A and B are shown apart, each in its own frame.
Chain A
Amino acid sequence: GDSVTQTEGQVTVSESKSLIINCTYSTTSIAYPNLFWYVRYPGEGLQLLLKVITAGQKGSSRGFEATYNKETTSFHLQKASVQESDSAVYYCALGENTGGADRLTFGKGTQLIIQP
């Protein structure tokens, strides 16, 4: 089956410091999975932060970046300088893009807390 493992629990970072949330994936059924980072801000629904569908490519959004590394099966999320507004829960996910639907397999989520 498919699985996603990401930094567990809670990560606390001081404002303006750098961030990395690790994500590795495993799949036995999808040759070229699409990789995603979703974010859930307090009181809101999950929303897409960034996605990459081609191995070796980098995605970026709102100052966050992630590179699709097929050799290490990783898709780590990084930001050079975090802000208080980045406090949220971040989910790494993989999916197979088919015409009918995108079956997403999520990680357990990482809660990011930014200290002022």
Chain B
Amino acid sequence: DTTVKQNPRYKLARVGKPVNLICSQTMNHDTMYWYQKKPNQAPKLLLFYYDKILNREADTFEKFQSSRPNNSFCSLYIGSAGLEYSAMYLCASSLRLGGRRDTQYFGPGTRLLVL
């Protein structure tokens, strides 16, 4: 099973409120990623977990937090949602094979609308 699951698929949030998005995979992948996709823009890497180590991209460092309680689950947390957070959030996972990194498998995405 090469499925990456994301919950919820659609999320409506109020400005200033927290948002928590969930991603899961059962492929025993060591790395999980979060991307943000806005209309007419390229998917943008926000952060990734390599095993238990969180790496956040420099330009979104303060905007997003994440946790990975076990190998299968990874969350994306927004402490106080703003209008600019409205986007599609894509989760992906991958595995290191023989010193190189294998393909990233993507989930269907969570569409977040902040009002």
Which chain A residues in 55-111 approach chain B with CB under 8 Å?
91, 97-109
Contact A91 B42 (CB under 8 A): yes
**Chain B residues positioned under 8 Å from A100 (CB to CB):** 31, 50, 53, 55
Contact A97 B33 (CB under 8 A): no
Interface centre among A44, A46, A98, A108 (most CB of B within 10 A): A46
Count of A-B contacts with CB under 8 A? 58
Q: Is the interface of B mostly helix, strand, loop or mixed?
A: strand
Contact B94 A102 (CB under 8 A): yes
A45 to B103, CA, bound (A): 14
Contact A45 B41 (CB under 8 A): no
Q: How far is the CB of A5 from chain B (nearest CB, A)?
A: 10
Contact B106 A102 (CB under 8 A): no
Contact A108 B90 (CB under 8 A): no
Task: Report if A101-B42 is in contact (Cβ < 8 Å); known contacts: A45-B90, A47-B106.
Answer: no
CB contact between A104 and one of B41, B104, B108 (< 8 Å): that residue: B104
Interface size for A (C-beta < 8 A) is 23
Q: How far is the CB of A21 from chain B (nearest CB, A)?
A: 14
A35 at the interface (CB under 8 A from B): no
Q: Which residue of B is nearest A43, CB measured?
A: B108
**Chain A residues positioned under 8 Å from B105 (CB to CB):** 45, 47
B43 at the interface (CB under 8 A from A): yes
A104 to B33, CA, bound (A): 10
Task: Report if A108-B33 is in contact (Cβ < 8 Å); known contacts: A45-B109, A99-B96, A102-B101.
Answer: no
Ranked 6 nearest A-B pairs via Cβ? A46-B106, A45-B106, A106-B42, A100-B50, A45-B108, A102-B101
